[in-house]
Amino acid sequence: MIFAGIDIGSITAKAALLKGNKLLGTRVIPTGYNPVTAGKKVFSDLLAHTKINPDDVTAIVATGYGRNSVEFADKAMTEIICHGVGAHFLNPKIRGIIDVGGQDSKAIALDRTGQVENFAMNDKCAAGTGRFLEVMAKALEVELDDLGTIGLGSCAPSKISSICTVFAESEVISMIAGQQKREDIIAGIHESTAARVASLAAKAKIESPVIMTGGVAKNQGMVKALENRLGIKILVGEFPQENGAIGAAVLASRMNL
C-alpha cells in the first residue's frame, strides 16, 4: 500500500509518498497565496513525477500551518509530531530536531522510539526564522541562497543587538552605510539568529545526535553558527524541507483503515 504526507508551510508546500519502509519520492513547491491550491498541486505534481495513480494512495495525512486546507486528506496532525516521526524514520538515532521554517522555529526532543518528549517553539516573532534571513538578504542585496557561503568568509562577525526584525534591518542598513564588510554582517546575522534558536534548544533540552530541518538547514553559515553556539555537531539530512511531509506519510501508514 502507498501512503502520502502533505506539509503546507507558510513559504513552501511539501509532499512525500511512502510504500512500506521505502520513500517513493518527494516534492517541494512554493505555497503562494492559496494553501488549498498548493496542497492539490504539490500532491498532483508528486503523483505525476512518480507515475502513481491517485486511487493507489491508501491514506493521506496533512500537517503544517495549512494542514486544515488539505480537504482531501484523511487526517490532519501537528507538525511537531510529524517532524519527530519523520526524523526517526530517516535516522532512528536522532534525539533532537532543530527546525527553522519560514515563519517559525522549533526545537524538539525525542525519545528512543521517536516520540516527542519535549519541544519549544517561536511563532510570535520573525526573528530566528527564515523570514528574518529573507529580510536581511534583501537589505544586503544578496540572493537568499548565497547567504550561507558568503557568511563563511567572515573572520570578524558584526554584532547585531536588536531582537526585532524591523530594528535589526535598520541596524544592518546602518552597518552597510558604515562600510562594514558584507560577509561580516551576514555572519553577524547568522550568529544573532543562532542565539535565538539555541534558546529554544535549551528550553526543549534536546540532546545529540541533533538534525536540522526546514529550508534554513541548507544555509551552511547558519548550521555552523548553531554548531558553535550549541557546541555540538548538527546533522543535515537529504530531505531537510520534506521531513514533516515524510513524517506525515509514516503516520498515514499507521492509521487504522
87 and 101 both lie in a single domain: no
Tally of structural domains, the chain = 2
The residue-averaged pLDDT of 208-218 equals: 93
* Local confidence band at 1 (pLDDT 50, 70, 90 cut-offs): very high
Q: Which domain holds residue 213?
A: 93-236
Give the pLDDT confidence of 132-181 residue by residue, as tens digits: 888 888 888 899 889 889 999 998 999 887 777 777 788 888 888 888 99
Residues 102, 224 share a domain:
yes
In sequence order, the β-bridge partners of residue 39 are none
- Residues 107 and 33 grouped into a single domain: no
* H/E run at residue 27: strand 22-30
How many residues are listed for the chain in this entry? 257
Q: What is the CATH number of the domain that holds 257?
A: 3.30.420.40
Q: Are residues 175 and 230 in the same domain?
A: yes
Residue in 185, 175, 107 with CA at minimum distance from that of residue 151: 185
Same domain? 221 vs 99:
yes
- Model pLDDT for residues 86-137, shown as the tens digit of each residue: 999 999 999 999 999 888 899 999 999 999 999 999 866 666 777 888 888 8
Cis status, amide bond into 35, omega within 30 of 0 = no
- Same domain for 225 and 134: yes
- Residues 80 and 108 placed together within one structural domain of the fold: no
Query: Dihedral, CA atoms, 32, 33, 35, 36, nearest 10 degrees?
Result: -120
pLDDT for the residue numbered 236: 95
Same domain, 60 and 165: no
83 and 125 share one domain:
no
Q: How many of the other CB atoms lie within 10 Å of CB of 22?
A: 8
| Residue 104 and residue 226 in one domain | yes
| Statement to judge: residues 232 and 245 lie in one domain | no
> By C-alpha distance, which of 101, 87, 6, 125 is closest to 54?
6
Do 108 and 193 lie in one domain? The reply is yes
pLDDT at position 124 = 65
